[in-house]
Amino acid sequence: MSAAAATPPRGQTSVRRVPARRHSASMISTLTNQGKVRFMLFRRALDARRLIRFLARLIRDAGRKVFLILDNLKVHHAKPVRA
């Protein structure tokens, strides 16, 4: 392709087509009665290992009993999470 063919006609904006890339992130969060928010961002889906790590951090930071209300996601019923 010659340089002349790559430049648009005078008065028109040049456009470069680039394939789009999809980026995504997931988040798990908690909210206390006092309004304190704790969250964790991660890539890909929530699995038992990530949930356990989040809960361990939550318990360590709270320093008291933690009452959980979960939304019946399949990972909430995993054997490592129940243990």
Tens digits of residue pLDDT in 10-54: 888 888 888 888 888 899 999 988 889 999 999 988 999 999 999
Q: Are 28 and 38 in contact (CB under 8 A)?
A: no
What global pTM score does this model have?
Answer: 0.67
Bridge partners, residue 27, by sequence: 41
- Domain-located, residue 7: no
Domain count, the chain: 1
Dihedrals phi, psi of 60, to nearest 5 degrees = -60, -40
Range of the domain at 57: 20-82
- Domain-located, residue 14: no
Q: Are 7 and 15 in contact (CB under 8 A)?
A: no
Task: Tell me: pLDDT of 61 over 70.
Answer: yes
- Domain-located, residue 15: no
- Domain-located, residue 4: no
- Domain-located, residue 70: yes
Q: Are 29 and 38 in contact (CB under 8 A)?
A: yes
- Domain-located, residue 60: yes
62-71 long-range Cβ contacts below 8 angstroms, 24+ apart = none
